[in-house]
Amino acid sequence: MPATVTSISPRRAGGPSRTPQPPRRPFRDNPRLILAGIGVLVGVLVALLVLASGTSRFSPDFLSEFVLYALSAADLTMLAALVFVLARNIIKLVVERRKALPFARFRAKLVALLLGMTLVPTVLVLIVGSELIRTNIDRWFNAPMAEILSSANQIAGDYYQEQQMLASDHANRLARMLAAVDLTNADVRPIRDVLAPDVTLQRVQMVEVYRVVPSAGSLPSLESVVDVAAPSLPPGYSRAAADRLAAQALAGSAEARSIETLGSSGDLLHAAAVIRSKEGRATGVVVATAYLTGDLAARSRRMTQAFESYNQLRVLKRPLTGLYLSFFLMVTLLILFGATWMGSYLAKRITRPVLMLAAAAREIGAGRLDQRVEPQSNDEFGSLVEAFNAMAGELAASRRKVDRGTIDLERKHVEVEGRRRYIETILERITTGVVSVDAAGAITTINSAAARLLSLSPQIVGQPVIAVFDRLDLRPLGALMAGAQRAKTEPTAHEIALAREGQELHLAAVATALVGESGAAEGVVLVLDDVTPLIRAQKVAAWREVARRLAHEIKNPLTPIQLSAERLRRHFSTAPPQAKALVDECTATIVGEVESLKGLVDEFSQFARMPSPRTVPTDLAQLITDTIALYNGIFTDVRIEQRFAPGVPLVMLDPEQVRRVIINLVDNSIEAMERRGQIVVETQLDAANNVVRVIVADNGPGIPPAEREKLFLPYYSTKRRGSGLGLAIVRRIIAEHGGSIDVGDNTPRGTRFTIELPC
Amino acid sequence: MQPRKHEGTKKATKKAKAFSFSCLRVFVVAWVCVGVGRAATIDDLVPDIRVTPIERDGQVLVSFDLSDGFTPDVRDAIQSGLSTSFSYEVELRRGSPLLDRTVASVTITATVRFDNLTRRYQMSRTLDGRVEDARPTEDRESVRGWMTHFERIPLSTTSALEANVEYYVRVRAHARPHNAWFFWPWGSTVLGQAKFTFIQ
* pLDDT for residue B28: 55
A81 touches chain B (CB under 8 A): no
A327 touches chain B (CB under 8 A): no
Please tell me which residue, A609 or B85, carries the higher pLDDT value.
B85
d(CA A260, CA A242): 9
Beta bridge partners of B85: B111, B176
CB contact under 8 A, B177 and A21: no
CA–CA min distance B79, chain A (Å): 8
* pLDDT for residue A655: 92
CB contact under 8 A, B180 and A319: yes
Which residues, at least 6 apart from A190, have a Cβ–Cβ distance to it below 8 Å?
Answer: A181, A182
Which among A69, A300, A312 is the nearest to B82, CB-wise? A312
- Each as own residue / partner, the long-range contacts of residues B37-43 (CB below 8 Å, 24 or more positions apart, any chain) are B38/B184, B38/B186, B39/B186, B42/B186, B42/B189, B42/B191, B43/B97, B43/B191
Per-residue pLDDT band for B56 (boundaries 50, 70, 90) equals confident
| pLDDT of A656 above 70 | yes
CA–CA min distance B153, chain A (Å): 25
A74 touches chain B (CB under 8 A): no
Q: Which residues of A touch B20 (CB under 8 A)?
A: 88
Question: pTM here?
Answer: 0.50
Per-residue pLDDT band for A480 (boundaries 50, 70, 90) equals confident
pLDDT in tens, A79-115: 788 788 778 878 887 888 888 777 778 777 877 887 7
Which residues, at least 6 apart from A237, have a Cβ–Cβ distance to it below 8 Å?
Answer: A260, A262, A265, A268
CA–CA min distance A438, chain B (Å): 53
* pLDDT for residue B26: 55
Q: Which residues of A touch B80 (CB under 8 A)?
A: 308, 311-312, 314-315
| pLDDT of B12 above 60 | no
* pLDDT for residue A549: 79
* Residue of chain B nearest A69, judged by CA positions: B183
Q: Any idea which of A181-190, A289-298, A728-737, B29-38 has the lowest mean pLDDT? A: B29-38
CA–CA min distance B91, chain A (Å): 25
* pLDDT for residue A21: 54
Beta bridge partners of A744: A752
d(CA A427, CA A58): 115
Please tell me which residue, A482 or A550, carries the higher pLDDT value.
A482
* pLDDT for residue B47: 42
A300 touches chain B (CB under 8 A): yes
Per-residue pLDDT band for A683 (boundaries 50, 70, 90) equals very high
d(CA A318, CA A323): 8
| pLDDT of B182 above 60 | no
From the CB of residue A647, how many other CB atoms can be counted at a distance below 10 Å? 7
| pLDDT of A23 above 70 | no
CA–CA min distance A409, chain B (Å): 29
A362 touches chain B (CB under 8 A): no
Q: DSSP readout, A388-456?
A: HHHHHHHHHHHHHHHHHHHHHHHHHHHHHHHHHHHHHHHHHHSSSEEEEEETTSBEEEE-HHHHHHHT-
* Residue of chain B nearest A60, judged by CA positions: B82
* Residue of chain B nearest A371, judged by CA positions: B1
CB contact under 8 A, B23 and A87: yes
d(CA A585, CA A581): 6
* pLDDT for residue A757: 94
Q: Which residues of B touch A316 (CB under 8 A)?
A: 77, 82, 177, 179
Q: Please check whether residue A109 is in contact with residue A301, taking contact to mean a CB–CB distance below 8 angstroms.
A: no
Per-residue pLDDT band for B13 (boundaries 50, 70, 90) equals low
Q: Which of B148, B88, B141, B77 is nearest to B113 (CA)?
A: B77
Averaged pLDDT of chain B: 77
Q: Strand, coil or helix: what is A40?
A: helix
Helix (H) or strand (E) holding B174: strand B165-176
Per-residue pLDDT band for A11 (boundaries 50, 70, 90) equals very low
A87 touches chain B (CB under 8 A): yes
CB contact under 8 A, A316 and B176: no
CB contact under 8 A, B137 and A255: yes
CA–CA min distance B2, chain A (Å): 6
d(CA B198, CA B177): 37
Mean of pLDDT values over B188-198: 80
CA–CA min distance B85, chain A (Å): 12
CB contact under 8 A, B24 and A91: no
Please tell me which residue, B36 or A171, carries the higher pLDDT value.
A171
Q: Please check whether residue A306 is in contact with residue A152, taking contact to mean a CB–CB distance below 8 angstroms.
A: yes
pLDDT in tens, A43-73: 877 877 777 677 666 666 676 667 777 777 7
Q: Which residues of B touch A91 (CB under 8 A)?
A: 23
CB contact under 8 A, A319 and B82: no
Mean of pLDDT values over A208-229: 84
Q: Any idea which of A45-59, A224-238, A409-423, B180-194 has the lowest mean pLDDT? A: B180-194
Q: Which residues of B touch A321 (CB under 8 A)?
A: 181
* pLDDT for residue A200: 85
| Cβ–Cβ pairs < 8 A, chains A and B | 128
* Bridge pairing between strands A616-618 and A651-653: antiparallel
Segment 24-63 of chain A within 8 Å of chain B by CB: 24-25, 60-61
d(CA A84, CA B40): 25
Q: Which residues of A touch B123 (CB under 8 A)?
A: none
pLDDT in tens, B66-105: 877 788 888 888 998 888 999 999 999 987 656 788 889 9
Using H for helix, E for strand and C for coil, what is the string for A164-182? Answer: HHHHHHHHHHHHHHHCCCC
DSSP designation for A66: I
Q: Please check whether residue A692 is in contact with residue A624, taking contact to mean a CB–CB distance below 8 angstroms.
A: no
* Residue of chain A nearest B113, judged by CA positions: A308
* pLDDT for residue A190: 85
* Topology of domain B49-198, CATH: Immunoglobulin-like (2.60.40)
Q: Which residues of B touch A68 (CB under 8 A)?
A: 178, 182-183
Mean of pLDDT values over A535-564: 80
From residue A128, alpha-carbon distances to A135, A331, A440, B149, B183 in Å are 11, 14, 99, 45, 22
The residues on B that touch A, with CB distances below 8 Å, are 1-2, 4-5, 8-10, 12-13, 16, 19-20, 23-24, 27, 31, 73, 76-77, 79-83, 115-120, 135-138, 176-185
| pLDDT of A405 above 90 | yes
| pLDDT of A734 above 70 | yes
pLDDT in tens, B149-163: 999 999 888 888 888
| pLDDT of A293 above 60 | yes
A324 touches chain B (CB under 8 A): no
Q: Which residues of B touch A156 (CB under 8 A)?
A: 117
* H-assigned helices in A99-203: 104-140, 143-178, 189-200
Which among A92, A312, A370 is the nearest to B19, CB-wise? A92
